[in-house]
Structure 1
Amino acid sequence: MKILHATAEYFPYIKMGGLSDMLSSFSKEQAKTHEVGVCLPMIAGLKEKPQFTGKTYPCLETRKMSPTPVTEILTASIFREAMYGKVKLYFFDSPLFSDLTSIYANSDEHFRFAVYSYATFCLSLQLGVDVFHAHDWHTALACALHKVSPFGKPSVFTIHNLAYQGDHPLWMTGFLKDEPFGLYPEAYLQDGKTNYMKAGLMSASKITTVSPGYRNETLFEPNGFGLSYLLRKREMDYDGVINGIDTEEWNPSRDERLYATFSKQDHKNGKFKNKTELLKEIGRPLIDPARPLIGIIGRLTYQKGYANFIQAFKERTHLPHFYIFLGAGEETLQNELFHLSHTDQNRIFFYKGYDESFARKVEAASDFFLMPSLFEPCGLNQLYSHAYGAIPIVSRVGGLRDTVSESPLAGEYTGIVFEPGDVSSLGYALERAHTLYLDQAKFYQTRERIMGINWGWEKRVSEYEAIYGSAIQKKE
């Protein structure tokens, strides 16, 4: 099968969130049995230099079109082919993106991603793909183009986070009615605005999201963020598939970024070595490494529930936990965490920003990993935590609920679960973590169990094959 993905992020070139890691590992696994390509913007801020093949592709169809600002830009743009293992990458080399240091939070995003979406649509026609797979609102318009074009391909649209929909004032997007788009407002009009996410949901042959739990939550408000009515209309075409991880990349027995490698068979010494060395690196060598270490990594946004963590942290001063927090985002939360990190140095350390190597060290050193999300489409850190032997403490939402269980049944206990948005429930979960840590036999048994879980992509790739097959049937 010939598959083309369209995305705004792709590890290791552009990484802002889970989409980058998910699609990179997913396409890598797909490419073992299929011909897989991935479109992504070429920005000045690429983290790695691509391995270009020298092949280029135009970004505009050859049919005669009326000259417009969009067609002029597309004429001046090309796709440059590169290889990433067996995956073919197609970098959108355009004056719209070439000077950007970061892919998001730029002016005229509505225009940039609309033009990029058209270019990905055009490339899919040139390549003659069997399925076009768009990810999140940035590429959603391409699904609408595939639906209205007589040459359109079967399309799949994946929701990675429904809270971000690419909605803009209608007056800003009049160009969507002109060449080369030719779209009508009914395809994207939502609450008096242009909504790119809606265009994808209305137009794609099949819709997916990144966990069954999140799929069910988004069918109703408030988790549908105003689009639940549309998802219910398309319920039979809407599937939830849990994300996987690259088990070769996220493997503590071969991860050279760690202070010491370890495996399920020798985790005790390896985890302890990583903990003691990390405490030295952050300037807290006097912290007793026998204390339980809880890692936290994430964007400081409302969704992630960190305000509730701060409250629970202040209320549970009697617990011996030491917290290492890595993240950046909302200034109020950053300031609060900076303050706690300086005034309560015996309990918490805060690192502002994101560093891939440091994040892996935190996973490897931590006894537990906390994710207090108010909603979470899937989450990847709880899967990484399983691989690196950090027992997840998560809220009962979306993909966290699907991947972490506190079941009393033998062999099914894979973490600690609490109710979302409930500070008391979070606090009690931290108490249970302490109780588990004191029972060293059960604690190590749990660690060994979670390190044995396979969160690889093999099963999920077959699930997507079935979805692609259904999309092709629908288009026919």
Structure 2
Amino acid sequence: MLKIKKKGNKINVLMCAAECVPLAKVGGLADVVGSLPAALTKEGITTRVLMPAHGTISLKRLKARRIIDFTVSAKGKKEKVLIYEALVGKTRFYLLHNKNYFRGHVYDGDNSEKYLFFCRAALEAIKLLPFKPDVIHAHDFHTASIITELGALKRKERPGLILTIHNLRHQGQTELAGLVDYGFNPDSFPAKAITEKNNKRILNILGAGILRADTITTVSPNYAKEILTPEYGYGLEKILRFRSKDLVGILNGIDVKEFDPKTDVRLARQYKAQTVKTGKSINKEAVLSYFKMESKQLPLFVFIARFSGQKGLDLLDAKLLSALNEQYPFQLILLGTGEKPLEKLAVEISEEIGEQARTLVAFDETLARSLYAASDFFLVPSLFEPCGLTQMIAMRYGSVPLVRATGGLKDTVIDGQTGLVFKRYSSEAFLASFKKALVMYYKDNRKYDCIQANCLKQDWSWDASAPLFAKLYKKA
């Protein structure tokens, strides 16, 4: 039986997620789940984070305390689950350990099965934990089945349920009959989330969670509008339109203490708005030296992202950029890992441009910080971008973002004021904006300085968004 804490002035929220900084990170989801709890504390919200104890997490290093053991059935076997509690910074975590399902990385193998098991284990853990939530806040499809099962209960028998969509493209698909393997009743799942394929009934895991949540949020106001359309809905637009009155777009924030050029120890030189020119110049020299690139005081463009189809790397036409480099010399650095064909493309782009370009296929947080601080322009030419955090971080470090008008990029970057924006997803549109940046840098430096100054003034903390979540929790 699920015990519900009686509501008072204080509200308990249990965040359920696949990843969270500083314990495990693949994408922006981890940054959000890692930074939001601290901001919620100011709103009188007590938060705990429930996530898998992935094999990449050292429980010993965290000094995690084993508090509860239990078993769940999965595929006809009894699986032992251990709950560890750890305080990391000011956030308290509950980490679910299982030697079979959580021994690897955040995402590997069959993620649908892995996270169905996590949801089953989480549902049992919620009954046993000393922390009794008023609200369960789940993130993406990995934890959506927690929402789906609890949402079938009467409202007075369960906590409030909020589901945040960070990236609608990742939905989770599984054969309906296979849900029995993880203790779920296939007949209890909403029919609107089930389709027929090759004579099999297939459940859309995220779709089911959307149908059962009390409130659905996305990570920017514009993305909340976009996902109601076929272009961005990825097959769930009808379900989302059905739930549109309960759909809210709340812009993500960043940890402004973590991303602060005044105190960032990773930089060759810390700086503030008044010393941005000197600070960025010193950081640029350090970066160019690291990449063995000649220092010519050229504008430096940087691309930092997962190399995936979403991020717009294919818009960087190497031949066109190389030709433009003859007219307006620039330097370009690409940093990231991802899909092998795109890793190869990134290397080919820098090789085509020549000595003024480099690609490093790696994930390196320290180097990324240096690139934010060194760059003059930051490229985010995404096909779609639910929110985007890198453009916020870039502005924080005085790098002018060049972005496509989609999702949260449209909410956060104003063309000609806090960056450069292009609309059509094409190499030609991107190149026109890229050239516009170069012309401004070489011929209208005063305008560049004005845009850079505006970037540095932006407040991307959770101060505006955390109260909106607090309001939703109180309503739930």
Q: TM-score, normalised by structure 1?
A: 0.90
CA distance in 2, matches of 1:279, 1:167: 45
CA distance in 2, matches of 1:69, 1:171: 12
Q: How does 1:431-446 map to 2 (within 5 A)?
A: 431-438=435-442, 439-446=444-451
Instruction: Say yes or no: does 1:305 pair with 2:306.
Output: no
Instruction: Say yes or no: does 1:241 pair with 2:250.
Output: yes
CA distance in 2, matches of 1:421, 1:339: 21
Tell me which residue corresponds to 1:332: 341
Letter in 2 for 1:24: G
Tell me which residue corresponds to 1:321: 330
Tell me which residue corresponds to 2:136: 132
Once the 2 structures are TM-superposed, how far is the Cα of residue 450 of structure 1 from its aligned partner?
0.8
Tell me which residue corresponds to 1:27: 37
Q: Cα–Cα, structure 1 residues 48 and 259, in superposed 2: closer, same or farther, change >3 Å? A: farther
Once the 2 structures are TM-superposed, how far is the Cα of residue 331 of structure 1 from its aligned partner?
1.9
Letter in 2 for 1:466: K
CA distance in 2, matches of 1:294, 1:191: 47
CA distance in 1, matches of 2:102, 2:162: 28
Q: Deviations over 1:62-101 (max 9, x none)?
A: xxxxx6647722xx1022110122211011111234421x
Is 417-426 or 350-359 further displaced after alignment? 417-426
Tell me which residue corresponds to 1:38: 49
Q: Report the 3-state secondary structure (helix = DSSP H, G, I; strand = E; otherwise coil) of the residue aligned with 1:10.
A: coil
- Report the RMSD for the aligned CA atoms in angstroms: 2.2
CA distance in 1, matches of 2:471, 2:238: 25
Q: Report the 3-state secondary structure (helix = DSSP H, G, I; strand = E; otherwise coil) of the residue aligned with 2:358.
A: strand
Q: How does 1:45-64 map to 2 (within 5 A)?
A: 45-46=56-57, 51-52=62-63, 54-58=65-69
Tell me which residue corresponds to 1:117: 119
Tell me which residue corresponds to 2:452: 447
Tell me which residue corresponds to 2:87: 83
Q: Deviations over 1:270-322 (max 9, x none)?
A: 000000110000111x241x110011001111111111123552553333221
Tell me which residue corresponds to 1:458: 463
Q: How does 1:365-376 map to 2 (within 5 A)?
A: 365-376=374-385
Once the 2 structures are TM-superposed, how far is the Cα of residue 353 of structure 1 from its aligned partner?
1.6
Q: Report the 3-state secondary structure (helix = DSSP H, G, I; strand = E; otherwise coil) of the residue aligned with 2:317.
A: helix
CA distance in 1, matches of 2:341, 2:66: 47
Q: Report the 3-state secondary structure (helix = DSSP H, G, I; strand = E; otherwise coil) of the residue aligned with 1:373.
A: coil
* Contact 2:376 2:399 (8 Å CA) reproduced: yes
Once the 2 structures are TM-superposed, how far is the Cα of residue 175 of structure 1 from its aligned partner?
2.6
Identify the match of residue 276 of structure 1 among 276, 280, 285.
Answer: 285
Q: Deviations over 1:403-432 (max 9, x none)?
A: 00015xxxxx00000014122211111111
Letter in 1 for 2:308: T
Q: Report the 3-state secondary structure (helix = DSSP H, G, I; strand = E; otherwise coil) of the residue aligned with 1:222.
A: helix
Residues matched between the structures, number: 454
Q: Cα–Cα, structure 1 residues 386 and 21, in superposed 2: closer, same or farther, change >3 Å? A: same
Instruction: Say yes or no: does 1:229 pair with 2:249.
Output: no
Letter in 2 for 1:103: V
Letter in 2 for 1:121: L
Instruction: Say yes or no: does 1:382 pair with 2:382.
Output: no
Once the 2 structures are TM-superposed, how far is the Cα of residue 174 of structure 1 from its aligned partner?
4.0
Q: Cα–Cα, structure 1 residues 118 and 173, in superposed 2: closer, same or farther, change >3 Å? A: closer
Q: Report the 3-state secondary structure (helix = DSSP H, G, I; strand = E; otherwise coil) of the residue aligned with 2:316.
A: helix
* Contact 1:42 1:97 (8 Å CA) reproduced: no
* Contact 2:177 2:186 (8 Å CA) reproduced: no
CA distance in 2, matches of 1:187, 1:143: 16
Once the 2 structures are TM-superposed, how far is the Cα of residue 257 of structure 1 from its aligned partner?
0.5
* Contact 1:50 1:83 (8 Å CA) reproduced: no
Instruction: Say yes or no: does 1:9 pair with 2:9.
Output: no
* Contact 1:287 1:346 (8 Å CA) reproduced: no
Q: Cα–Cα, structure 1 residues 15 and 68, in superposed 2: closer, same or farther, change >3 Å? A: closer
Q: Cα–Cα, structure 1 residues 447 and 90, in superposed 2: closer, same or farther, change >3 Å? A: same
CA distance in 2, matches of 1:226, 1:169: 17
Tell me which residue corresponds to 2:163: 157
Q: Cα–Cα, structure 1 residues 59 and 362, in superposed 2: closer, same or farther, change >3 Å? A: farther
Letter in 2 for 1:27: P
Is 461-470 or 308-317 further displaced after alignment? 308-317
For structure 1, the 5+ residue unaligned runs are: 62-66, 408-412
For structure 2, the 5+ residue unaligned runs are: 1-10
Q: Cα–Cα, structure 1 residues 26 and 159, in superposed 2: closer, same or farther, change >3 Å? A: same
CA distance in 1, matches of 2:391, 2:81: 40
CA distance in 1, matches of 2:144, 2:49: 15
* Contact 2:14 2:133 (8 Å CA) reproduced: yes
Q: How does 1:167-206 map to 2 (within 5 A)?
A: 167-175=173-181, 178=183, 183-184=188-189, 186=191, 188-190=193-195, 192=197, 193-206=202-215
Once the 2 structures are TM-superposed, how far is the Cα of residue 40 of structure 1 from its aligned partner?
1.4
* Contact 2:101 2:117 (8 Å CA) reproduced: no
Q: Report the 3-state secondary structure (helix = DSSP H, G, I; strand = E; otherwise coil) of the residue aligned with 1:72.
A: strand
Tell me which residue corresponds to 2:7: none
Letter in 1 for 2:210: L
* Contact 1:4 1:131 (8 Å CA) reproduced: yes
* Contact 1:12 1:47 (8 Å CA) reproduced: no
* Contact 1:70 1:180 (8 Å CA) reproduced: no
CA distance in 2, matches of 1:174, 1:330: 33
Q: Cα–Cα, structure 1 residues 49 and 385, in superposed 2: closer, same or farther, change >3 Å? A: farther
Instruction: Say yes or no: does 1:93 pair with 2:76.
Output: no
CA distance in 2, matches of 1:401, 1:7: 26
Q: Give the share of equivalent positions with the same residue, in percent.
A: 30
